[in-house]
Amino acid sequence: MPGAGTDRTKTAPAFAGPIVVLVEPQLGENIGTTARAMANFGLTRLRLVKPRDQWPNPRARAAASGADEILDEAQLYDTLEAAIGDCELVLATTARAHDQAKPVIDAQEAARLMQPHLSAGGNVAVVFGRERNGLENDEVGLADRIVTLPVNPAFASLNLAQAVVIIAYEWFNAATGGPLPFAMPQKSAPAPREQLLAFFADLERELERVEFFRPPEKRETMQINLRNIFLRMAPTQQDIQTLHGVVRAIAEGRKGPARGGILDGEEAQLLRTLLAEHGSARVPSERSPVRGLSRLLRRNPTDAERALWNALVNDRRFAGRGFKRQVPVGPHITDFVSFPLRVVIDLVPPDESEAAETTRAERRAWLDERGYQVMDVSAQEIEADVGKVLDRLDEHITMM
Ligand code: SAH
């Protein structure tokens, strides 16, 4: 099985790579994982010199994870000489110093050295030794270069296939130039300078309001430092829009409920009374005024509304039931609504006037007609025991 990231519709890059020669490999597993490592980095030609076990080897196949073709086409030889007979460049890999007058290079240098031979159509062999004791001195003696890897000297011997994968990786990198198979998606274009400057202006204006730039003599440096934070990010247009939104939210939140609301509890109540009595709770069908009003109401909850909302969102029974506060339902603004449940909670204010009562009745009829269950809750009830109100709501919902 080819595994994650493998795309069978894609073909391997078509350049000839070096031949991998394994001298007397002992474990079928290592031959299989060598084939897999080769396939990962576009190598195809495997030569085996006297593998210890029978060939073909089912353990090799199981370990190859689908790189079967390389195993099928592997060639068997009786001697290393025969296996490298048609090669013009031979590299011997080893973790050990063999005390020979032969240049020692690393995997990158090996890849560089191979390239001209390979592109001219010549055969290059990279020779790997046995698991137990690597390559013999005379075998290393047949090579043009010794390839060794910079490793922990106290633990220098790699697993056979892992040594192959490093050589294969470096070759692939050198041959292809190493482009990565995928990159971060560019979902939004880089923000143009003018968008950045507009954001800085917005941010700095808000910071000015809270006298952030103090003391005055540090102002300029602070401003430059702050701008540099964002410039280092190289933000996209989407990033700047998000940051704008953040600044707006903080700035407006500060004026809103975070500081107790533009209106205090009594004023918030008054706002509702006014809306109710002037029939404006039944707002004309244009969407934007309804939304504007509902936003105003949402930002200025009455004490009862705030208490009920806090209790509701902290009660697991109502988690995920879709309750919202002060949202338009058709031409009306409901105190609490769950669209999925089609349940509305109507907060009945204390000392409701006759006019307000009429408007509320109208709203209720409108909602009834459209299949909403309306539950009345009085402010006093919430004040007395908000838990009971939620129990009643839960009963109401489970009965539906
Ligand atoms: N015990 C053996 C190592 C065998 S590892 C020894 O002491 O030589 C099997 C093969 O993997 C080695 O023969 C060599 O071809 C390759 N190999 C392992 N570690 C390596 C390293 N650090 N550098 C280069 N090749 C290495």
Whether 102 and 155 map to the same domain: the answer is yes
Name the residue range of residue 337's domain: 258-398
CATH number at residue 314: 3.40.960.10
- Model confidence, pTM: 0.62
Least confident of 33-47, 79-93, 159-173, 302-316: 302-316
Q: Is 269 in the pocket of ligand 1 (CB under 6 A)?
A: no
- Distance, CA of 28 to CA of 48 (rounded, Å): 11
Cα dist from 309 to 121, 302, 335, 348, whole Å? 76, 11, 10, 15
pLDDT, greater one: 247 or 354: 247
pLDDT, greater one: 109 or 259: 109
Give the strand pairing for 332-338 and 343-348: antiparallel
Instruction: Quickly state the pLDDT bin for 294 (edges 50, 70, 90).
Output: confident
Q: Is 149 in the pocket of ligand 1 (CB under 6 A)?
A: yes
Please tell me the distance between residue 12's alpha carbon and the centre of ligand 1 in angstroms. Answer: 28
Closest residue CA from atom 11 of ligand 1: 160
Whether 239 and 292 map to the same domain: the answer is no
Mutate to test the pocket of ligand 1, among 20, 80, 94 (most ligand atoms within 8 A of CB): 94
Q: Is 129 in the pocket of ligand 1 (CB under 6 A)?
A: yes
Closest by CA position to 124, among listed 19, 271, 5, 278: 19
Domains held by the chain: number: 3
pLDDT, greater one: 270 or 151: 151
Whether 273 and 247 map to the same domain: the answer is no
Judge whether 13 lies within some domain: no
Judge whether 8 lies within some domain: no
Whether 39 and 123 map to the same domain: the answer is yes
What are the start-end ranges of the H helices in 64-146?
A: 68-72, 80-83, 107-119, 137-140
Cα dist from 302 to 230, 329, 348, 349, 355, whole Å? 39, 20, 12, 10, 20
Whether 56 and 162 map to the same domain: the answer is yes
Whether 159 and 23 map to the same domain: the answer is yes
Judge whether 201 lies within some domain: yes
pLDDT, greater one: 294 or 325: 325
Ligand 1, closest atom to CA 92?
15
Ligand 1, closest atom to CA 132?
1
Whether 385 and 280 map to the same domain: the answer is yes
Q: Is 133 in the pocket of ligand 1 (CB under 6 A)?
A: yes
Instruction: Quickly state the pLDDT bin for 349 (edges 50, 70, 90).
Output: confident
Residue 231 CB-half CA count within 13 A: 10
Whether 199 and 271 map to the same domain: the answer is no
